[in-house]
Amino acid sequence: MLIGMQQVIETDDLERSTRVRALEAKVDALYSEIKYYMTKISRAELDERESQRWTEVISFAIHMEQMGDIVERLLLDLEGRNIKQGRSFSPAGRSELCELNSQLRNNLQLAMHVFLHGNVQQAHTLLEAKARFRVLELQYAARHLDRLVGNTLPSMETSALHLDMISDFRRINSLLSAIAYPILERAGALAPSRLKQAEPSTVIASAC
């Protein structure tokens, strides 16, 4: 869905947007199946570690379902507020939204590695990626406002949608980064400030 959304941002293709939104039904179906399966497991028979993993699986599924909801809503907004109105983002704005989307896809891959393998260093890397995304998001929002001051017509026409999309991208990124916290908590790497200082790390190759 993230890949499809980027293609819609790039092309203003209404039919593609409709096809991508249809994927949300599959996300919902998978979420329901996972939840049904997990609720059939008797937690009374699980040890402490298994019980923790049960919670992590349910939380991961919930986050993925919520991400699907956000993407579906963003596509509906793109259709109603841009494509059907004959509006397009400015070239600079389109490029920035696509870059944020690309970063989300990278972070999704990393989040899945963290969920599957429970690697503490990768969990640190995921939170570092969250911080980098936040910096990029603020930078692009500021650039957008600069374009408004410069009276760039496409930026003015699509301003509200552009800023709404940046805000929802941040929500998606927060859902992804939340996957790191149970792993770090289990390893004793969380502090009252939520995270002890992480060691320098390199983003894993598969997330690039």
Compute CA distances 13 → 8, 70, 178, whole Å: 5, 19, 32
Residue 191's pLDDT is 56
Judged against a pLDDT cut of 80, whether residue 154 lies above it is answered with no
pTM given for the model: 0.86
The fraction of the chain above a pLDDT of 90, given in percent, is: 76
Q: How confident is the model at residue 159 (pLDDT cuts 50, 70, 90)?
A: confident
Residues 181-203 have a mean pLDDT of 63
pLDDT, the chain, mean = 89
**Mean pLDDT, range 150-156, rounded to an integer:** 70
157/80 Cα distance (integer angstroms) = 13
Does the CA dihedral 106-112-115-117 come out positive or negative? negative
**Residue for token digits 């301003």?**
159
Contact 144, 96 (CB under 8 A): yes
pLDDT band at residue 25, thresholds of 50, 70 and 90? very high
pLDDT score at 200: 39
